[in-house]
A and B are shown apart, each in its own frame.
Chain A
Amino acid sequence: MTRSWWRRSAVALLVIVVSIPSLAWLLGGIILTQRLGNEPGVIPVAAGETAQFGGYRWTLTASDTFEPRDSEGESRPLGTELVAAIISVEPIPGDADDDASCDAVLTAPGPERVRRTWQRVGSPGDYLYRMADDTRGYCVLDGTAYEYETVFLVPEGSYGESAIDVTVTGSRTIHRFQLEQ
C-alpha cells in the first residue's frame, strides 16, 4: 500500500478505530448498568442489632438449629436440619404502615455468586417442631409489635453460613440478618 493510500484512507481508518470500540463499550456499558440497576441492595444486620426499615424496628433475638423428626419421633429426613429464628418486629410510631407484609427466606452462598435460597416451612409441626405460644409464623405488618418465628429445612451444616433475608413487600432492599453463632 502506498503512502497516498494511507493519506486517502486515514479519516476512514480513524473512524473505524474509534467507533467500533466505542460502540462495544456503549453496548456493554448499557447491559452492565441495567444489570447493576436490577440488583437489589443488601444491608447486613448483625444478630442482636436493630435495623429500622418499612416503618418498623427489626431485631433477630434468637436463632438455632433443631433436628427434624417424623411423626414417630425418629430423626427424619437424615442429613437435614431445621433452622429457626425469632425476629422482633416493633412499629415506629408515625412511620409504621398497618397494611403491609414481608418476606423472609434463608440464604447461603451458592455457585456463581448466586445465593442458595430456602423458603420457610409452612407446617413446622410436620417435623415435630413446636412454635412458641406467643410468636407468629407469618409476617404481617399491621401496626402491632410481635415476635416473628420462622423455620427452614436445610441440608445439615448449612446453619453456620446462612442468614435470613427480609424484604418488606414493595421494597427492593434486602436486610440480611446474621444468625447467632
Chain B
Amino acid sequence: MRPGIRSLLAGVIVLLAGLAVATAPSIDRVVGPFELGGRLGDTVDARLYSATVTRVELAGELDLGYGQDGFSYTPPSVASEQVFVVVDLRLESVVDKVLVQYSELVIGGVTYRVAPFLPGPSILNPPAGPGIPVEGTLVFEVPSSVVESDAAAHARLHIKSELTPQLESVPVFALDLGGLDVERVRVVEPATIPADIR
C-alpha cells in the first residue's frame, strides 16, 4: 500500500472513531429505564406492573382519616402552605407485590418525591399481589408558584419501584396541572382492592 493512501486511510479511521465517540449514547441512556408514556385515564403496561392515573387534583389540606374512631397519635389532617398534588392511581403488579415509593413528579426539570404520610394500607405498599388491582392515592407537595407556572401544564409523573431503574420499563404520565382549582380539603382514603376485579 502506498504511503499516501495509508495516511489517508489512517485519517479516515481516526475521523470515524471520533464520530462514533461523539455520537455514542451516554451510559445513562444505554442502561436507563424505558419510559412508557401515558395520559390521564390511560393504562400503561410496564414489565412488572400496569398503572392507570384516574384523577388529579390540587389541595391545600389533606384529611387522612386518622382518629375518626377514637384517639390517634397521628394528626387527622395535614395542611400545607404550598400545594398538594393528589393523584388517584390504579396499580396491578405482574409477578410480585410492587412497592412504588420511588414515584416522582417532575415539573420544570425539578423532581418532587412522593409524600410518605398516607393512611395505611397505602398504594406505596399495595395490599394485594399479582393479578389483583389496587386503587389508591399518591401525594406530592409542590410550591404554589410552581403549580401556577407555565411548566405545570407539562408535569410528568413517573411511577417507579426503584430510585434509579436500569433497563426496566417505567410508566410516565404527562399531566396538565395548569388551571386546576386548589381544593381546601381533600380526603385521602387508604388503598383498596376494587369490589369487582373481573
Contact = CB atoms under 8 A, between A and B. Distances in A.
Counting chain B residues whose Cβ lies within 8 A of the other chain, the interface size class is: 10 to 19
A80 B197 contact: yes
B40 interface: no
Nearest to A126: B127
A64 B131 CA distance: 20
B129 A77 contact: no
Contacts of A70: 195
Interface in B151-198: 193-198
A116 B195 CA distance: 22
Interface string A54-86: 000000000000000010000011111000000
Contacts of B96: 116-117
Contacts of B115: none
B129 A116 contact: yes
Contacts, number: 55
Contacts of B75: none
B191 to A, nearest CB: 13
Given A77-B193, A78-B198, A79-B198, A119 B129 contact: yes
A80 B132 CA distance: 8
B13 interface: no
Interface in A26-46: none
Given A77-B193, A77-B196, A79-B196, A110 B95 contact: yes
A20 interface: no
B146 interface: no
A117 B95 CA distance: 6
B167 to A, nearest CB: 14
A116 B130 CA distance: 7
A114 interface: yes
B129 A117 contact: yes
Contact of A154 (B94, B129, B195, B196): B129
A123 to B, nearest CB: 10
A161 to B, nearest CB: 12
Given A111-B94, A119-B97, A153-B132, 16 more contacts: A77-B194, A77-B195, A78-B195, A79-B197, A110-B94, A110-B95, A110-B130, A116-B131, A117-B96, A118-B97, A152-B129, A153-B193, A154-B132, A155-B130, A155-B132, A158-B131
11 contacts: A76-B195, A78-B196, A110-B95, A111-B94, A116-B94, A116-B95, A117-B130, A118-B97, A118-B129, A119-B129, A154-B132
